[in-house]
Structure formats: C-alpha cells, structure tokens
C-alpha cells in the first residue's frame, strides 16, 4: 500500500508537471507503463522504513525517468505527425551538410525555470511522503505495543482458566491462650446490674 501511494503520487506529479510544461498530456500507454515501473521500483524500496534521503532520491529519480519518457515519446509523436514537406526540407538540409538530419529533442521544455520548479515539487512531495511514513511507523509501533499488552493479558487469563489458583480458605481464628491467673479472674468476676432488655 505504501509503495502504491508513493508511485501514484510520483506519477501524478510527473504527469501534471509535463502537461504544464508542454501543454499536452502524454500518451496513455506510456503513462500506464511508467506507473507500473514506478510501482515496482517503489515496492522494492519499501521493504523497510524510508528515510527522507531515500524518499528524495526515489522521487527525484522517478520524476527524472518519467520526464525523460514523456518528453521522448511526445517528441516522437510530434515527429510522426510532421508533414512530408518539413521532413523533406530537413532531409535536404542534412544532405547538403554531409551529415544525416537530426531532429532535436527539447529535454527541458519550458527552460530551466520549469526544471527548478519541478525539482522543488519533487522535494516537497518527498518531504510530504516522509512525514506520512514517520507517522505511519509511529502508529504501527503503537499498535504493536497495544497488541502485545492485550496478548499478555489474554495469556494470563487463559492460564488462570486452565490452571485456576488454589482456593483460599479463611484463616482460622483461635482465641488467645489463657493463663491460669486470667482464668481465675474470669470466674471470680461478679456481674451486677439490671438485666439486659430483650429486643422486640
């Protein structure tokens, strides 16, 4: 689930940045393949807790790869739609110089300002994901602590159910031992006074 969250966020960021810079959406198959590859990379990296540095490297790397794929496929799509006159003109110009015609690919559409903005967005996304990762692991530690305490209580209850403690018998109260003098005083004591009233 964590890997899919990182992958979806990274692909949507790359898709939005590419659309903002170029003015057109990348093709759906390229986006789907980029999503699948990004999910696989993120799944491999999510085997343990992702620190901020690992998330920054992961998001910036994914953004760079997606940007490159989107740019190359967009320029290939544009070259496929070019008119035959412009292709012939480019080919004719290439013949005159003695070299083949090279169609230029603008790897930074929008210039360096868009690249810096894209890098800033990638860093912001990495920070946001690192915060979520930290909170997720804190919640997981809390859940493990609660589960362990609950299991200890259940184990104690199960043990008392299987092996109940011995029944406690109330202690036997014995009268204090009497000495010979105390016994004589008890018999010599005369009790005087009116008889006790009977309770009604």
Q: What is the pLDDT of residues 152-172, one digit of tens each?
A: 998 888 777 667 667 777 778
**Which of 9, 117, 17 has its CA nearest to residue 67?**
17
- Band the pLDDT of 182: cuts 50, 70, 90: low
Cα–Cα distance for residue pair 180/58, rounded to 1 Å: 96
pLDDT tens digit string along 80-121?
444 434 443 333 344 444 444 445 666 776 677 777 777 887
Gap between the Cα atoms of 77 and 89, Å rounded? 19
**The pLDDT of residue 180:** 61
Evaluated on CA atoms 24, 29, 34, 39, the torsion sign reads positive
- Residue 47 pLDDT > 50: yes
Over residues 130-150, the pLDDT tens digits come to 888 888 889 989 999 999 999
**Whole-structure pTM value:** 0.52
Opening angle at CA 71, ends 70 and 73, nearest 5: 65
Ranges of each domain in the chain: 2-78+110-160
């Amino acid at each position: 689930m964590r890997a899919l969250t990182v992958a979806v966020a990274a692909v949507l960021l790359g898709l939005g940045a590419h659309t903002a810079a170029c003015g057109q959406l990348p093709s759906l198959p390229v986006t789907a393949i980029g999503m699948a590859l990004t999910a696989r990379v993120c799944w491999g990296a999510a085997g343990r807790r992702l620190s901020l540095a690992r998330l920054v490297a992961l998001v910036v790397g994914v953004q760079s790869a997606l940007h490159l794929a989107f740019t190359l496929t967009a320029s290939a799509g544009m070259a496929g739609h070019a008119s035959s006159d412009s292709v012939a003109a480019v080919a004719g110009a290439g013949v005159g110089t003695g070299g083949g015609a090279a169609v230029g690919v603008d790897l930074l559409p929008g210039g360096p300002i868009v690249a810096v903005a894209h890098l800033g967005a990638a860093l912001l996304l990495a920070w946001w994901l690192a915060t979520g990762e930290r909170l997720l692991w804190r919640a997981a530690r809390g859940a493990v602590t609660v589960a362990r305490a609950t299991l200890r209580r259940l184990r104690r209850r199960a043990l008392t159910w299987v092996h109940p403690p011995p029944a406690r018998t109330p202690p036997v109260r014995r009268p204090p031992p009497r000495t010979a003098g105390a016994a004589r005083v008890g018999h010599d004591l005369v009790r005087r006074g009116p008889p006790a009233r009977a309770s009604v």
